[in-house]
């Protein structure tokens, strides 16, 4: 039997790279995309069929999908929307441009890519769309408003697509990791330095701690390796009836329950305390 084709975004590091490796070993034909040429070259050197795909560019999305469809005679079994970044900073310190950039990658580009792949899935009569969301698509932590909002938006679009694709054989699943070893914090630190005017913020004292955490090597409590996400992705790809949501890490399971059972004020107390401890 022909291997099933999977397109993954953001394979230069972290979860995306782990998914690309693990799914290839599992027997899938993996198209591992990255937004920088150097990463595409490194992925190719590692034996992947690699394409350049920058979620911030419609042309790049279009060209990547065309390339994959050409190599697969029009068949893409699964799309894994993994590529994203976190823009730290208090909501009142976010410029319009910074908020826009967060949504450009995590929401607009991701949905545009999905919409370009769905017609192939409809034509082949099957498909799996797996959106990598976050614990912060379930609850909000302070000083991460842009990222919270982007993952809530991704969850809403995923839930809506699930309804709209109900009578097709195309399944939409959301994977919700808590802390996972990757370059996420290092990349978030870069976004922080790029877009947040720390010196002129009322939160500047808090930001000193943010910089220490994002710049430092110490992992957050309950951090798991990216293979924990891979395990759930196997299920989303291979279950006859995949679940709408797959939680990864203890904090995700915990907050999914706390959000349901705690009154808002009590939940806010917990979230405010946690907000000062980590960055995800
Ligand atoms: N690590 C965690 O604790 C954690 C927790 C919850 C959810 N997540 C989610 O897991 C996913 C993977 O993140 P990660 O932890 O593996 O972090 P990561 O190591 O920073 O990887 C993020 C990937 O997204 C790519 N990316 C960023 N902007 C892009 C763009 N415009 N177009 C295409 N790709 C782009 C990055 O490429 P570059 O190298 O070019 O920047 C990188 O390959 C993300 O959706 C993230 O929100 C992570």
For the entire predicted model, the pTM comes to 0.98
Q: For all residues of the chain together, what is the average pLDDT?
A: 97
Q: What digits encode the pLDDT tens for the residues 62-97?
A: 999 999 999 999 999 999 999 999 999 999 999 999
Instruction: For a ligand 1 pocket test, name from 19, 55, 84 the mutation site with the most ligand atoms within 8 angstroms of its C-beta.
Output: 84
The sheet with strand 49-52 has its strands ordered as: 49-52, 29-34, 5-8, 78-81, 127-132, 170-177, 245-248
Q: How confident is the model at residue 278 (pLDDT cuts 50, 70, 90)?
A: low
The residues near 253 (Cβ < 8 Å, ≥ 6 apart) are: 247
Q: Dihedral sign for Cα 192, 196, 202, 205, please.
A: positive
The yes-or-no answer on residue 147 being catalytic is: yes
**Poorest-confidence range of 32-46, 113-127, 202-216, 250-264?**
202-216
For residue range 48-63, what is the model confidence (pLDDT) as tens digits?
999 999 999 999 999 9
Count of CB atoms situated within 10 Å of the CB of 84? 26
In the set 28, 147, 189, 207, the catalytic residue is 147
Residue 217 has pLDDT above 90, yes or no: no
**Residue 133's pLDDT is what?**
99
Helix crossing, 204-215 with 184-195: angle to 10°?
A: 150
Q: Tell me what the mean pLDDT of segment 249-266 comes to.
A: 98
Q: Are 118 and 126 in contact (CB under 8 A)?
A: no
Whether residue 279 is predicted with pLDDT greater than 80 in this model: the reply is no
d(CA 54, CA 71): 19
Percentage of the chain beyond pLDDT 70 is 99
What does the DSSP 8-state code read for residue 7?
E
DSSP annotation of 224:
B
The pLDDT score that the predictor gives to residue 212 is 87
What is residue 144's DSSP assignment? Answer: B
Q: Which residue owns the Cα nearest ligand 1 atom 44?
A: 84
pLDDT, position 109 = 99
Q: How far is CA 270 from the centre of its chain?
A: 25
Residue 253's pLDDT band (cuts 50, 70, 90): very high
Structure token digits, residue 89: 């900073």
pLDDT in tens, 115-158: 999 999 999 999 999 999 999 999 999 999 999 999 999 999 99
Query: Are 229 and 15 a contacting pair, CB within 8 Å?
Result: yes
Residues with beta carbon inside 6 Å of ligand 1? 9-10, 12-16, 34-36, 53-56, 82-85, 105, 132, 134, 177, 179-180, 182-184, 187, 280
Residues 153 and 136: their CA atoms lie apart, in Å, by: 11
Interatomic CA distance for residues 245 and 247, integer angstroms: 6
* pLDDT tens profile 152-172: 999 999 999 999 999 999 999
Instruction: Tell which atom from ligand 1 comes closest to the C-alpha of 60.
Output: 32
Count of CB atoms situated within 10 Å of the CB of 165 = 17
Q: Can you tell me the distance from the alpha carbon of 99 to that of 201, in angstroms, rounded to the nearest whole number?
A: 17
């Amino acid at each position: 039997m022909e291997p099933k084709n999977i397109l993954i975004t953001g394979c230069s590091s972290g979860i995306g790279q782990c998914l690309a490796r693990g799914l290839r070993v599992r027997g899938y034909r993996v198209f591992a995309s990255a937004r920088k040429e150097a990463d595409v070259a490194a992925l190719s050197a590692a034996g992947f069929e690699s394409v350049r795909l920058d979620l911030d560019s419609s042309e790049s999305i279009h060209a990547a999908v065309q390339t994959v469809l050409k190599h697969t005679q029009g068949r893409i079994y699964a799309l894994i929307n993994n590529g994203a970044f976190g823009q730290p900073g208090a909501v009142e310190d976010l410029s319009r441009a910074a908020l826009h950039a967060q949504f450009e990658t995590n929401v607009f580009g991701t949905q545009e890519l999905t919409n370009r792949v769905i017609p192939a899935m409809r034509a082949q009569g099957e498909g799996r769309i797996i959106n990598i969301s976050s614990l912060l698509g379930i609850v909000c932590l302070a000083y991460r408003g842009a990222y919270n909002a982007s993952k809530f938006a991704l969850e809403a679009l995923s839930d809506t697509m699930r309804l709209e694709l109900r009578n097709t054989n195309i399944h939409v699943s959301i994977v919700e990791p808590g802390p996972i070893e990757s370059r996420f914090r290092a990349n978030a630190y870069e976004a922080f330095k790029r877009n947040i005017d720390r010196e002129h913020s009322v939160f500047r004292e808090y930001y000193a701690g943010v910089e220490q955490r994002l710049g430092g090597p110490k992992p957050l409590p309950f951090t798991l390796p990216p293979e924990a996400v891979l395990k759930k992705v196997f299920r989303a790809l291979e279950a006859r009836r995949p679940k709408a949501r797959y939680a990864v890490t203890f904090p995700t399971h915990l907050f999914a329950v706390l959000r349901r059972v705690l009154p808002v004020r009590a939940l806010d107390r917990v979230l405010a305390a946690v907000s000062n401890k980590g960055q995800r």
